[in-house]
Chain A
Amino acid sequence: MAVVTPEVVKQVAMLARLRLEGKALTQLAAQLDEILQYVQQLQAVDTQRVEPTSHVLPLTNVLRKDEPTPSLSQDAVVALAPAAQPPFVKVPKVIEV
């Protein structure tokens, strides 16, 4: 049974701010479903005695001192944005005031 339906693709696309419509939805649904089915094989592995792992590196407690390092210049940062009104980055209005 398909896990990824066109509705799921639509929802995920919305969350990821991707514009996907019509044929693309069904096409991607089929492809994504195939990928998931493939990965699904891992479900067959017995993990009863395996601790859940979020990281595979044998590292913990990587910390830094509370000491300043140089920041980027205001000009450089503002220049990165698609739209700006220095010293601010300009975006479409997000809230009614």
Chain B
Amino acid sequence: MNYESVIGLEVHLQLSTKTKLFCGCLTKFGAPPNSQTCPVCLGLPGVLPVLNEQAFAWGIKVALALNCQIANVMKFDRKQYFYPDLPKNFQISQYDQPLSQHGHLDITVGEQAKRIGITRVHMEEDAGKLLHDTGGASSFVDFNRTGVPLLEIVSEPDIRSSDEAYHYLTELKAILQYLDVSTCNMEEGSLRCDTNVSLRSPGVAAFGAKVEVKNLNSFRAVKLALEYETKRQAAQLDRGDRIVQETRLWNAKKAITGPMRSKEEAADYRYFPEPDLVPFVIEPSVIERVRAGLPELPAQRRVRFQQRHQLSAYDAQGIAQDRALADLFEQALETYPKPKPVANWIMGDLSAYLNAHAVTLADVKLRPEWLGHLLQLIEEGTLSGKMAKDVLQQVLERGVDPVELVNQGSLRQVVDADALERIAEDVVQAFPKSVEDYGKGKTNALMYLVGQAMKRSQGKANPEQMTEMLKRKLVSRP
């Protein structure tokens, strides 16, 4: 039978504040285990947590960018459970008076625009990190992550396919990157995602029993896990079996979900107000100040790229999605004001290079004006399109201006002496005036001829070699 999937996503975002949510311990990733903790984040007796104002401000910023209503008053609550990564035996989170609620995010799947509701964005502290030793009898805990500020971003169960889930996540990540409040690095766990999915027969309003899937460490994993889980549940329903509400883990190697064998009992968190943190009043003036400071977001930028620079929807999407690429695009236009070729090179060769080397723009040393220079060199005929591809490669590898590469003659050289000879001869024939000037002692004329020859060789000639060759030709002239 055909079922409709009902999907909700829960994203945890680590904020890149210098210090933790309620204490001054550093949040540096990769620090030696258990070197960034203190009595507050370890929950030793008699300590007092105090909220990090930067985390609070960034929380408001994210909530506003996701169109949420900010609470007038928010408070923190204790969520109580026992797990070895939780030294206090409770997590400071938010329950009935969260930072914000009722937001939404717009996605486009194919041609179809869709609005996905955001239930809430709330603040909480992260837990420590558990390492499991395969086969052994112990687990090991590093508490450095304990107390690192998190935003939990919960979607409404508005998502109907793995594709929509993927688009929701990529759009969300793009927005979060624009806001510059997190590294959004999934490998390092600064952006994490859990999903829940249930199936229902068409026309049925009630939701089926939902299965939560965890251990998803890439957006691709989310998509694959949802596809797998939808098929698994459908097969089970087709056999007449019931779906039990449970938590399953995604196994990326086997590409399946399996039941989570945890010693935890059914959740009963017994939330109650955190007595050590007083409530927070969020004045409308504060909200307006943060709102005014919001950057242009990917959706607005896409529209602007299409309207102002006549980019295709595809190019606008591809470039605006990544803040660094979008900035590069606009800055390159200052040197070379033709949007289409700039977009083509970003979407084509540059993106291909970044993907092939699994790096981001931040990892290569490309200055926006260099991309502009490259396109100028193509336009004036110094470089052919094919050569420009090689030049871009060298620019990205060596971090140099393409103009410099051409001037140094350090491009792949034409070694064929006959070819150089022919070019030199052609130039001498083509510019008799300069030849004459040189004969009268104007050395500038030689420079001009070398320039013309370089252009004809599409930058492949060694300029010194060409100069020598031209000198010889001019001297031997009657």
Residues of A within 8 A of B (CB): 14-15, 17, 54-55, 57, 59-74, 77-78, 80, 85, 87-97
Contact = CB atoms under 8 A, between A and B. Distances in A.
Given A54-B75, A68-B26, A85 B138 contact: yes
B448 interface: no
B82 A17 contact: yes
Given A55-B273, A65-B54, A89-B34, 18 more contacts: A55-B75, A62-B51, A63-B53, A63-B56, A64-B24, A66-B17, A66-B53, A66-B54, A68-B19, A69-B24, A71-B26, A74-B35, A78-B34, A87-B33, A90-B140, A94-B83, A95-B262, A96-B261
A94 B279 contact: no
Interface in B252-277: 260-263, 265, 268, 270, 273, 275, 277
Nearest to A90: B138
A97 B278 contact: no
Contacts of A60: 73, 278-281
A15 B270 contact: yes
B19 A62 contact: no
Interface residues of B, number: 56
Given A55-B279, A78-B34, A93-B136, A63 B19 contact: no
B162 interface: no
Interface of A is mostly: loop
A89 B141 CA distance: 5
B39 A72 contact: yes
B230 interface: no
Given A68-B19, A72-B39, A89-B143, A14 B265 contact: yes
B176 interface: no
B37 interface: yes
A63 B51 contact: yes
A68 B24 contact: yes
A72 B24 CA distance: 11
A91 B141 contact: yes
A73 B137 CA distance: 27
A61 B37 contact: no
A65 B25 CA distance: 12
Closest 6 CB pairs of A and B: A69-B24, A88-B140, A54-B273, A66-B54, A91-B84, A63-B53
A95 B132 contact: yes
B299 interface: no
A54 to B, nearest CB: 4
Interface in B17-61: 17-19, 23-26, 32-39, 42, 50-56
Contacts of A77: 34-35, 37, 42, 143
